[in-house]
Amino acid sequence: MLAAALPPGQIWRTASHDSGNAGVGWTGWREADCAELGGDIAAADGFVYNGDELGVAGVSTAFAILTLFQRHGFEGALAKINGDFAVAVYDAKEVVLWLGTDRVLTRPLYYTQTRDSFLFASQPRSLLSVPGVSRAPNREFVALFGGSHYRTVDNAIHDSPFAALRRLPAAHALRVSKGVAREVCYWRLTDAPDHTEPEATLAEQYRALLLDATARRFAAADKPAFTLSGGMDSSSVLACAVKNTGRKLPAISVGYVDRTYDESDEVQAMLEPTVSIWHKLTVDKPDVFGTIEKMVAVQDEPVVTATWLSHYMMSEEASRLGYGALFGGLGGDELNAGEYEHFWHFFADLKTGGHLAQLGLEVEMWAANHDHPIFKKSSAIMEQNLPRLADLSVPGRCLPDRLRIERYADALDLGFFDLRKYTPVMDHPFRSYLKNRTYQDMMRETIPCCLRAEDRHTVSFGMDNFVPFFDHRLIEFMFRVPGTMKFRDGVSKHLLREAMAGVLPEETRTRFKKAGWNAPAHIWFTTTAREPLRDMIASRKFRERGIFNLKEIERLLVEHEAIVADQQRVDNHMMFFWQLVNVELWLRSIEAMPT
């Protein structure tokens, strides 16, 4: 299993410990993280950031968690840790195996059972290498990835891309005894009252928390660099690290020859005050299919958006430059309501709360600030779409975006899967629509796949990944901040902007136009990747899978090429074809696995 975990072409360290009938193993590019204490054994992937507070500073993550386990029990230990980790502990006295994940699943953990064994691993490939473990793909996963929006693929929090493998959800402990597994959730957000302190006080508290979250992770990092886009989130993390250390720090960005998603100009304001050396990786005409094949080999699954091709290339470049860690702003959108769609749920809170004058002002400013030739903004559009996305009769109940889920329903063969019958789980722990929407993103939609991509890309190139916004203290704090402090005058991330006064350059702090970190795959699929895409769709292997409606696929491809060639002001199909290519190359990689 350890040998199977190695990324292609890598030579890693390995270690293992046995106790009775149990064994734990570790493989990676750094010092092995296995531990033994009083007959109990542990293996861990990740970091404990508050070891100084818990009396376990200066030791490995596995040894720290094993020590805390013997003091507080497994669930008690995990609840005390501020960290990013996946961990396995074997209690020799009780003959119990424990598995645990951190609060947002920065490190995934999978498990399965055979007739005589219980098996677990950080990546599917280790489990799939065991005789008797089926490699059959999860049919629903294939359908959702191939034909729906990427936000659906992690909705079932226990499922994995493989039918035989289960995934341990975020903030969960799994107890295995005598072949019986039982899950326990050791941390969850509750519908606590909103903070009532003045905005200036909350901004100070927010700044202090983000500075500390960044400092704790910086202390664990070796030769770090900071990913930098034109947005608030990555810029805030970099600026906090600069303020903590009192010195400028290295940053790396991705730019594009095609200017649609290029943010090189927006990055400029950060360079002089915060950046010691700026590395810009310019992407023009990448080998899309070849790079996806490499990414799938690292990920053990298809990769959700074209953004991650750029991240993969950036990770490779950062490693080549000698960096040992990457910091990023992932999580900033979820904590600060930074996605465009979060406006809808803020509006729902205002409408159902009876704040109609404020609603009118915010909608007016939303339209003025963010109107788009394709994605129009107006009061009429708000009124038309709000009942589709929020059940206004049940406080806080968000609805699935059926238009998004079913946009490509006709592209799937109905004999394989009918997207119109698919209903995602929509969590409802809060009475606020906005809180439920951002919680949904964090636990079931945008974040799980992004965390896996960041983790696996960096690890495959011998680096660590750090996401300060996902410090659980920040999560708990921000889910008690009212929506009116996240949105103000049609601009999102209001409290973060206030918190970063004097930390960020004003040009960055006050900029509200959001390109979003994306990649010009619409161009790639009509130029360098056009013929490989057409060859794939025409291939016998693709056509005989029975997954797709081939006539609809061909229609969409012709339509996509026309939209791009004629620069039509309608949404193109680049995300659909990105997912189609990924799922097909992933299926081929499974078929090519050694027996």
Does some domain include residue 193? no
Residues 355 and 417 in one domain: yes
Please check the confidence at residue 181 and state whether its pLDDT lies above 70: yes
Whether residues 266 and 204 share a domain: the answer is: yes
Domain harbouring 231, CATH code? 3.40.50.620
Query: Which of 398, 415, 434 is where one domain is finished?
Result: 434
Do 245 and 140 sit in the same domain of this protein?
no
Q: pTM of the predicted model, to two decimals?
A: 0.96
What radius of gyration, in Å, describes the C-alpha atoms of the chain? Answer: 24
Amino acid at 66: L
Q: How confident is the model over 577-595, as a mean pLDDT? A: 96
CA 348 vs. chain centroid, Å, equals 26
Selection from 398, 391, 393 nearest residue 427 by Cα: 398
By the 8 A CB rule, do 301 and 453 touch? no
Q: Hey, CA dihedral for 60, 62, 65, 71, is it positive or negative?
A: negative
Say what the pLDDT of residue 516 is.
Answer: 58
Is 552 a domain residue?
A: yes
Do 586 and 592 contact (CB within 8 A), yes or no?
no
| pLDDT at 429 exceeding the cut of 70 | yes
Q: How far is CA 416 from CA 145, 262, 514, 583, in A?
A: 13, 38, 38, 15
CA–CA distance, 363 with 353 (Å, rounded to integer): 15
pLDDT for 573 beyond 70: yes
Placement of tokens 């990457």 in the chain: 326
CA 592 to chain centre: 28
Question: Do residues 448 and 102 lie in contact, with contact meaning Cβ atoms separated by under 8 Å?
Answer: no
Domain count, the chain: 4
Predicted local distance difference test score (pLDDT) of residue 384: 96
User: CB–CB of 252/282 below 8 Å?
Assistant: no
Residue that finishes a domain, picked among 387, 404, 434 = 434
What pLDDT is stored for residue 512 in this prediction?
Answer: 86
Assess whether pLDDT exceeds 70 at residue 128.
yes
pLDDT in tens, 518-553: 789 999 999 999 999 999 999 999 999 999 999 999
Assess contact for 23 and 17: CB atoms under 8 A: yes
Burial 147-168 (b: 16+ CB within 10 A, else e): bbbbbbbbbbbebbbbbbbbbb
Residues 536, 426, single domain; the answer is no
Q: What is the mean pLDDT of residues 89-104?
A: 98
Whole-Å CA distances, 336 to 97, 342, 465:
38, 10, 21
User: In the chain, what percentage of residues exceed pLDDT 90?
Assistant: 92
Is 516 part of a structural domain of the chain?
A: no
Q: Is the pLDDT score of 514 beyond 70?
A: no
Query: 501 and 393, same structural domain?
Result: no
Cα-Cα-Cα-Cα dihedral of 270, 274, 278, 283, to 10°? -40
pLDDT tens per residue, range 286-304: 999 999 999 999 999 999 9
Contact residues for 146 (Cβ-Cβ < 8 A; gap 6+): 411, 412, 547, 548, 579, 580, 583
Per DSSP, 257 falls in state S
- Beta bridge partner(s), residue 96: 91
- The helix or strand, by DSSP H or E, that contains position 230, with its residue range, turns out to be none
Contact at 8 Å (CB) between 327 and 222?
A: no
Question: What pLDDT, in 10s, does the model give residues 457-508?
Answer: 999 999 999 999 999 999 999 999 999 999 999 999 999 999 999 999 999 9
Question: Rounded distance, CA 122 to CA 101, Å?
Answer: 11
Interatomic CA distance for residues 410 and 355, integer angstroms: 41
Q: For the sheet containing 96-101, what is the strand order?
A: 34-37, 40-48, 83-91, 96-101, 172-177, 180-185
Q: Give tens-digit pLDDT for 240-283.
A: 999 999 999 999 999 998 888 888 999 999 999 999 999 999 99
- Say how far apart CA 212 and CA 346 lie, in whole Å: 29
**Among candidate residues 242, 440, 240, the one with its CA nearest the CA of residue 329:** 240
DSSP states along 93-132: TTTEEEEEE-SS-SS--EEEE-SS-EEEESSHHHHHTSTT
Q: Give the side-chain half-sphere CA count within 13 A for 349.
A: 20
φ, ψ for residue 404 (rounded to 5)? -70, -45
Residue bearing the bigger pLDDT, 343 or 371: 343
User: For residues 436 and 444, what is the distance between their CA atoms, to the nearest angstrom?
Assistant: 11
pLDDT at residue 260 in the model: 81
pLDDT grade, residue 517 (50/70/90)? Answer: low
Could you say which of 384, 409, 434 is where a domain stops? 434
- Would you say 211 and 243 are in contact if contact means Cβ atoms under 8 Å apart? yes
44-94: per-residue pLDDT in tens?
999 999 999 999 999 999 999 999 999 999 999 999 999 999 999 999 999
Does residue 449 share a domain with residue 407?
Answer: no
Residue 466 burial by CB count (10 A; 0-12/13-18/19+): exposed, middle or buried? buried
Beta carbons of 301 and 142 less than 8 angstroms apart: no
52 domain-assigned: yes
pLDDT for residue 122? 96
The verdict on 570 and 499 lying in the same domain is: no
Q: Distances in Å between the alpha carbon of 455 and those of 4, 24, 98, 265, 450? A: 18, 21, 23, 28, 9
* Residues spanned by the domain of 460: 199-335+444-510
Q: Does 92 share its domain with 151? A: yes
State the average pLDDT over residues 104-133. Answer: 96
- Angstrom distance (rounded) from CA 461 to CA 103: 25
In the 3-class helix/strand/coil scheme, how is 301-352 assigned residue by residue? CCCCCCHHHHHHHHHHHHHHCCCCEEECCCCHHHHHCCCCCHHHHHHHHHHH
The CA-atom distances, in angstroms, between 578 and each of 420, 441, 452, 525, 572 are 22, 21, 18, 9, 12
Same domain flag for 293 and 211: yes
Q: Decide if 31 is inside a domain.
A: yes
CA dist., res. 307 & res. 575, Å (int): 10
Q: What is the pLDDT of residue 136?
A: 98
pLDDT of residue 146 exceeding 90, the answer is yes
Q: Are residues 38 and 133 in the same domain?
A: yes
Q: Is residue 84 part of a domain?
A: yes
436 near 398, Cβ under 8 Å? yes
Q: Is 439 contained in some domain? A: no
Q: Are residues 501 and 416 in the same domain?
A: no
pLDDT in tens, 368-413: 999 888 889 999 999 999 999 999 999 999 999 999 999 999 999 9
Residue 417 lies in a domain: yes
Q: What is the mean pLDDT of residues 174-193?
A: 97
| Rounded distance between C-alpha atoms, residue 142 and residue 153, angstroms | 9
Judge if 328 and 452 occupy the same domain: yes
Residue 258 pLDDT: 84
Mean pLDDT of the chain: 96
